[in-house]
Chains A and B, each alone.
Chain A
Amino acid sequence: MPPRDGRGALIHPELLDRPERRIDGVDKTTGAARYTADLVVPRALEAAFLRSPYPHARIVSVDTERARGLPGVRAVVTGADVRGQRLGRRLQDWPVLCWDRVLFIGDRVAAVAADTREIAEEAVRLISVQYEELPPLLDMDVALRADAAALHPDAASYRFLEGRGERPAVPHPNYQGHVVESHGEVDAAFGRAARIFEHEFTTPRIHQAPLEPRAAIVWLEDDRVRVVSTNKAPFNLRDQMAATLGLAKDRIVVDNGMIGGDFGAKGLSTDEFVLYHLAKAAGRPVRAITRYADELTTTNPRHASRIRLRTGVDAEGRIVAHESHALFDGGAYAAGKPTARLLVEGGVSTLEGYRVPAARHEAATVYTNNVPGGHMRAPGQPQNVFASESHLDLIARELGITPLEMRRRNVARAGDPTTTGAPWHGPDLAALLDRAADEIRAENARPAGRGVGFALGVRHVGRGSTTISLRLERDGTIEARTGVGDQGGGQHTLIQRIVAATLAVDASKVRVRRLSTEGPQDPGIGGSRVTPVHGGAALAAANALKDKLAGRSVAEAAGALNPGEAIEVTATFDATAEDHGACAHAIEVAVDAETGTVRVLSAVLAVDVGQVISPVGLRGQLEGGFVYGLGMALTEDLALEDGRVQAANLGDYKLPTIADVPPLRIVHLSDGHGVGPYGARSAGELVNPGVPAAVANAVHDASGARVRVLPVTAERVWRELRGT
């Protein structure tokens, strides 16, 4: 079906079919792109932080005298100077600097601004802190014992942002968030089940690992606080800073440089708050560039999880009842989660995409003395899908049917009740599964040691509101102004192409300019939001301009402008419609039974992302999402020992490299009925959640080894095969 402009009129499909030239492509490949750390601000100082070596301790005393005496040191700030100030995206529970207790290894106690980074780091070493160690709660079960000490005894006094009421109540003080949701008569349905299966799965913390570590620079100028940050949602950071620091929002201006990767990590900023205090104390700009070791060990990685699933099926293997109990290790602070329930929401509804007539889901995030958990590409969902799809395979094998048949019998079709109780209205999941199975030749016999695994991934299309304005200049070019940055996902190229296609101009005629928080309000990047929200606003703005042109072409209208004149339109768009994208995964692996080594031989993604707007960018998101999932499946594990993150560099924290990536086939199946511009759906968080499950299922198929813990390492497979 040819794309439409949302109001029925056909537009210029050829402009969307043509592979795009990315707006940021030349600058990034030539090295001209400027990131936050590249910004030169005159007289800027460098910051360094003193971090807790203990997972849980009381601060007895902090002595900064020697640090202050070091030549080149311009300011020293300790927790005592910022007592009571806590930061966070929703619940503000993370101290700007700790003044009373430290709650994880890496928690900040003091900060120094100095002429050079070396001096600042030297000064940090000269600060003496006396701690009194407290028993750490490193295990979720221990933290949830009835007699466990509350890690945040003053939680009632914490600020809960955005005026959406109070923080939801929790049944134990060491829950960050807790929810029980159900639909249908769950217990009765279990009573009718022919068989009931129960399994438990665990996943480790993993890191977002963007290429660019966090960076920020803060200075005070004419009663304004100027912030340049790698944060991907500058308006949110501004609001958080205003709340924490007690400043009016309009006194703070947050801007970005180019952002070098995000994957969820760049939603939480912590340095900026301290930099404000340092800049104020020193009377000079202060900059911090996070060391990669600190990025890995002290920021906000994906939550480790333990998920128990229980499912009842009828005699034909159809699901009749389901319940889940999912615990996510939230670590010392809930500050990294922007969600109102303080959960990783993608982890709540297990067995998404299937027909589930009755279900009860209990999900919680738990305070511990581990590194705080945060948001990462489809938060909560990969843990959920790993458990759910492994569980389905195990049930299928117990029932003596193929995993594919199990899925065919249970996949949600239009109108079926899903695991949340809501009826399914989205992509044709059965068709996606069938296509993936065909492409991988699931029915073919395979040599020993080879197998195929499946998984289904369903991801909501984001919602929200933003404003984009367009300005048609006399030279025939159009400038699009937006508050959203581009962290590599192709956001600006998307805006450019929608405007160009709608107005029938070449994309090179459309520039995209990013405004700081001095421009119109913007929700930033995240939550599979940009295509529906910013794409929707770009379309609305382009249509508004088209209306203003009153039938003239862009070139004609531009030619009629006098020098200094321009035509401007502004559109605010609120994306409210509910929709889902979907992806069926089929992955073939070979398992070396002597060593347990898993090699992924090939993979198929059958996806429904609606109308494609940027074919190259889309491929990047889908292929990138696959490789991202492959890391979680096979190599990534931000392991802790006694609360300490073990990997301090990317030599030890292993990401997949291009040599590990198998031939990947992507098949697009779509009715084009997505709710985004021209029928588009979101793509960024669609693929990665299903990969670990599909790999684990393929390993089982190939070797008989069922690994219920991620990553599926060779040693784990080897131990399963040997029964040790």
Chain B
Amino acid sequence: MRPFDYFEPETLDEALEILAGDPDDTLVMAGGTALVILMKQDLVRPERVLGLRRIAELRDIGASDAGVALGALATLGALARSQRVRGHTVALASTFAAVGTVRIREQATLGGNLAHADPAQDPPVTLLALDGVAVAKSRFAERRIPLDGLFTDLFETSLERGELLLRVELPPLPKGARATYKKFLPATLDDYATISVAAVIATDANASVTHARIALGGAGPVPLRARDAERSLAGRRLDDAAIREAAALAAAATDPIEDLRGSAAYKRAMAEVWTERALREVA
């Protein structure tokens, strides 16, 4: 690894100030689990690194408007264990627990995970299905970015120069909503998902769907919402036909990248299988 200037402020304001000093050539590092590997491989050679780990104010896992607010510097391990996260929905806690290994989870953070924008990551998928909204701040302004507008391409986000992620806010779930996260690991259990699916469903007294969210990971250059599939379920009972139709629509929404984890055709087929399995679980 090459020498670089390292900054480690204790407050958000200081951090934003440092970032504003040279937003183009400052690499922002939270847990460092992704970046340090790239730096060691010499694929990334930063001039300046802004380390966020001492900014305590961004670690909170708290309440917000009847929903929850997850601090950007909360570790994935802390999130997996959090009663508040579990209270919101167990599926979210299990999503955080599905990332990597214990060593990764205790180091990696929510904000780092989202900003890195790896399409095969676990948390973005469930957070998308939970209508998560990222809150970002620069020295000049604070803004809210719904998560389906955050991910723009492989490893690319809509965060602007000088912006840092503060937290992710999740609105309250509809009453009686059921959620699940399915991570498909066909080779080794310590791996990125070949495909993953999060589904959130709420139904009324007649068992008709009043709320449907389906999100997919590993299914394209960004974590994505299967909106056609969601719409197809509106007002219907989650019977076999409805589930199969939604699963087929979800698969049609994918644009998988062929890689060592499978061909595009296989991943698309697996998106269908796992959407179906996820929906059966929450039906």
Chain A–chain B contact at Cβ < 8 A: yes
Instruction: Count residues on chain B whose CB falls below 8 Å from chain A CBs.
Output: 21
Please classify the interface of chain A as helix (H, G, I), strand (E, B), loop, or mixed, using the class held by over half of its residues: loop
Q: Is B187 an interface residue (CB 8 A)?
A: yes
Asked if A635 and B266 sit within 8 Å, CB to CB, the answer is no
Output the least CB separation between A697 and chain B (Å).
19
Asked if B188 and A654 sit within 8 Å, CB to CB, the answer is yes
Q: Select from chain B the residue with minimum beta-carbon distance to A118.
A: B2
Q: Is A465 an interface residue (CB 8 A)?
A: no
CA distance A646 to B37 in the complex (A): 17
A597's contact among B1, B41, B186, B192, by CB below 8 Å, is which? B186
Asked if A657 and B186 sit within 8 Å, CB to CB, the answer is no
CA distance A639 to B270 in the complex (A): 23
Contact with A along B230-257 (1 / 0, CB 8 A): 0000000000000000000000000000
Asked if B273 and A594 sit within 8 Å, CB to CB, the answer is yes
Q: Is B190 an interface residue (CB 8 A)?
A: yes
In the bound complex, residues from chain B placing their C-beta under 8 Å from that of A598 are: 186
A654's contact among B1, B2, B187, by CB below 8 Å, is which? B187
Output the least CB separation between A491 and chain B (Å).
30
In the bound complex, residues from chain B placing their C-beta under 8 Å from that of A657 are: 188-190
Asked if A595 and B270 sit within 8 Å, CB to CB, the answer is yes
Asked if A714 and B190 sit within 8 Å, CB to CB, the answer is no
In the bound complex, residues from chain B placing their C-beta under 8 Å from that of A594 are: 273
Asked if B42 and A121 sit within 8 Å, CB to CB, the answer is yes
CA distance A414 to B187 in the complex (A): 40
Q: Is B181 an interface residue (CB 8 A)?
A: no
Q: Which of B89-133 contact A (CB under 8 A)?
A: none
Q: Is A550 an interface residue (CB 8 A)?
A: no
Asked if B188 and A715 sit within 8 Å, CB to CB, the answer is no
CA distance A454 to B190 in the complex (A): 27
Q: Is A547 an interface residue (CB 8 A)?
A: no
Contact with A along B71-95 (1 / 0, CB 8 A): 0000000000000000000000000
CA distance A598 to B188 in the complex (A): 10
Q: Select from chain A the residue with minimum beta-carbon distance to B260.
A: A652
Asked if A596 and B186 sit within 8 Å, CB to CB, the answer is yes
Output the least CB separation between B14 and chain A (Å).
30
Q: Select from chain A the residue with minimum beta-carbon distance to B269.
A: A718
Contact with B along A632-670 (1 / 0, CB 8 A): 001101010000001111011011110110000000000
Q: Which of B15-63 contact A (CB under 8 A)?
A: 37, 41-42
CA distance A648 to B186 in the complex (A): 21
Asked if B186 and A715 sit within 8 Å, CB to CB, the answer is yes
Q: Is A401 an interface residue (CB 8 A)?
A: no
B187's contact among A639, A647, A713, A719, by CB below 8 Å, is which? A713
CA distance A715 to B187 in the complex (A): 10
CA distance A293 to B37 in the complex (A): 12
In the bound complex, residues from chain B placing their C-beta under 8 Å from that of A655 are: 188
CA distance A704 to B184 in the complex (A): 22
CA distance A713 to B192 in the complex (A): 15
CA distance A581 to B154 in the complex (A): 51
In the bound complex, residues from chain A placing their C-beta under 8 Å from that of B189 are: 657, 659-660
Asked if B260 and A715 sit within 8 Å, CB to CB, the answer is no
Q: Select from chain A the residue with minimum beta-carbon distance to B190.
A: A657
Contact with A along B1-15 (1 / 0, CB 8 A): 110000000000000
CA distance A238 to B197 in the complex (A): 56
CA distance A713 to B184 in the complex (A): 13
In the bound complex, residues from chain A placing their C-beta under 8 Å from that of B270 are: 595
Asked if A659 and B262 sit within 8 Å, CB to CB, the answer is no
Asked if B260 and A646 sit within 8 Å, CB to CB, the answer is yes
Q: Which of A675-724 contact B (CB under 8 A)?
A: 713-715, 718-719
Asked if B260 and A634 sit within 8 Å, CB to CB, the answer is no
A656's contact among B186, B188, B192, B260, by CB below 8 Å, is which? B188
CA distance A719 to B191 in the complex (A): 22
Q: Which of A575-612 contact B (CB under 8 A)?
A: 594-598
Given A118-B2, A715-B262, answer yes or no on A654-B191 (Cβ-Cβ < 8 Å).
Answer: yes
In the bound complex, residues from chain B placing their C-beta under 8 Å from that of A646 are: 260
CA distance A236 to B189 in the complex (A): 40
Q: Is B152 an interface residue (CB 8 A)?
A: no
In the bound complex, residues from chain A placing their C-beta under 8 Å from that of B273 are: 594-595
Contact with A along B249-283 (1 / 0, CB 8 A): 00000000000101100100110010000000000
In the bound complex, residues from chain A placing their C-beta under 8 Å from that of B184 are: 595
Asked if A715 and B190 sit within 8 Å, CB to CB, the answer is no
Known contacts A291-B41, A657-B188; 16 additional CB pairs below 8 A are A594-B273, A595-B184, A598-B186, A635-B188, A637-B260, A648-B41, A654-B191, A654-B260, A655-B188, A656-B188, A659-B190, A660-B188, A713-B262, A714-B186, A715-B186, A718-B269
11 contacts between A and B (CB under 8 A): A594-B273, A596-B186, A634-B188, A639-B260, A647-B260, A648-B41, A657-B189, A659-B190, A713-B262, A714-B194, A715-B186
Give A residues with C-beta under 8 Å from B: 118, 121, 291, 293, 594-598, 634-635, 637, 639, 646-649, 651-652, 654-657, 659-660, 713-715, 718-719
- The 4 nearest A-B residue pairs measured at CB: A714-B186, A659-B189, A657-B190, A597-B186
Give B residues with C-beta under 8 Å from A: 1-2, 37, 41-42, 184, 186-192, 194, 260, 262-263, 266, 269-270, 273
